[in-house]
Structure 1
Amino acid sequence: MASHRKPKQHPLVGGTARTAAGLALAGAATATAAGGTGHAAPRATPDEVKAQVARYYRQAETATEQYNGAKERTDRARAALDRLQDEAARKTERLNAARDALGSYAAAQYRTGGVPSSVRLLLSSSPQRFLDQASLAERSGARQASEVARVRREIREVREVRSSAEAKLGELEREQRALARHKRTVETKLAAARELLHSLPPAQAPHREHADGSAEHAVPARLPVSGRAAQAVAFAYRALGKPYVWGATGPSGYDCSGLTQAAWQAAGVSLPRTTYTQINAGHRVARDRLAPGDLVFFYSGVSHVGIYVGDGKMIHAPHPGAPVSVSSIDTMPFAGATRPV
């Protein structure tokens, strides 16, 4: 039966975000020990608020890439578990068939003068008892020994597969916990950023300028480019204006690494899911040798990526509230570049 209790709110969401916004904008009233006169702490300027918002977005993006990595591992673990469970089912069917064959032999033995004690033991429902005592099969005839060996092999294989499945299930559960943890972190940082942005007067809120200070550029003229890079760049241009959606790989929205992965997928190149794995997918490229289609990475933690389109510009998914757009690669600390192959 589904629970109807109200979901527990994460302690950092909402209250902490509002507190952060309040502290950043209003400050706290203090009194001097000498005169007792209250003095309000200076309000944060709009630029200071935007800088804090940018920090929240960077922290959220780092957590988003960790979320993406955990989701990728979770998907792999779940697929491996499904395969192991299917394999265990098939091997269990073979084990049952082998036991049936041994049972048929035992029935024939009974009709001709009784069932040997070793066979009665092997038909036991306890595989462990069988494995412990399987040496008794050596006292039986050649056919019986063959059937016993078959059952023994099938039991061992079933156990091995089930053991592997149990280990994979444990891995899946660990990755699911990591997934939930990173998701909470992302949501907390984004909530704090929204609170700060909503607290700004409309005239001071960012519009065409992103909260990280990077201005949105007009779409540049396309430089000559051919091959798969041309297909990836063309995809990126078609994605302009689509919303940033954390954890998304399209087609209606993207996060930063989801956009670059989808762009190169359209060109027939499979990239890993996260920024910190994409930077190692392909050949490293010096900044002064960039060509359209190259992946450009930013920040010391390699937490942001865009696709270079020439003339010092890239197309990227900046952050929530800022759709896929064109920006200068000079607006963020450059961390490296890769040319997918």
Structure 2
Amino acid sequence: MTGRGSAIPKYRFYLDFPEQWDDVFSYMDNAVTQWCQRLNNTFLVVLDQLVTFGTSIEVGVVISFFFFYLGLDSLVIAASSVMMALVVVTQVPKRFLWRRRPHVAGRAKMLYDGTLTSSFPSRAVTCCVVYLYLLSGILEILSRPEKDPVAPFRLLWSPAFILFTIWAVVWTSIARIGVGVHYASDCIAGVVQAGIVCYIAETTYYIIVNACCQGAAPFHADRALLLHHINWPGLAIATITGVVAVFVLESDLVQYWSKAHFVLGLLYPVLCGLFLFCCGYHQLPRANMYNIDIHQFLLATAVPLLLLVVGRNCLPHSSGKTAAASFLLLHVTGMIVIMWHRLFHDSII
């Protein structure tokens, strides 16, 4: 049964998925699709909904905001390095290489409303691997002595972790193939893409640590001095750059990514805070991760989730201008919230 997705994209400047590649993968793709779609339909739909939620870009953005709000800067560097690489790398093939979804091409039955984006590669599989990679880095950092706030970011190459990653990738792939929105070759490409993202993320992490954070004062609680030394010109330039970027990315001509306004709207305050206020001598105060109470954890979760819901569902983004305005509102609100908390809340050292 052919789905209701689009057979051709609604934007310009793209390449069709090469037919030669499709011919090479067709036997494997068709066989795996037929096997996956033999599973119970309700099970596949529920599994896919869980996978879609857990592997969304929004999850990583919320996690980055969460860490920065709490003042856990070593974890912010890890999460923001991953998210910068993930956002940049994964959207390029999605935007410029068009492959019809299996249910659109008539090669799979559609179990629920299809999506209008390209199927290649599977971003869900990519995010599955990358988020587990980030989790391993977080555990690595948390296991290090408190006196080393900016610990190296490493993947835990334990057999148990590798097996768990493989298990998660297999079930993520089964879910996406089973509901008719991906081919097996999309999922394999998603794993390859994840490797590229992880390599760039780890390289970025070390660049930030070595160029920005080494030799800097680990804590600075003189709030009056911090307010005096805030890099207002740098913040203004960064904000203008973000507004222009979102305007271009969501303009009618480019149509690069419809999520840019709220994804960057939540990620940008974290990046600005990291590079402008957490490097050098005059740093924002940090938190002791072992002394944060449950109320702060709940608040740090609720704030980015609220901004995400507003940005995704309430703010207009039908054109480049409205998307840029929505981004600016989210960015400024996010900066005010996290800066106020970092500077004046008693839980921050």
Superposition TM-score, scaled by structure 2 size: 0.24
Greater Rg by CA: 1
Superposition TM-score, scaled by structure 1 size: 0.25
Higher strand share: 1
Higher RCO (CA 8 Å, separation ≥ 6 residues): 2
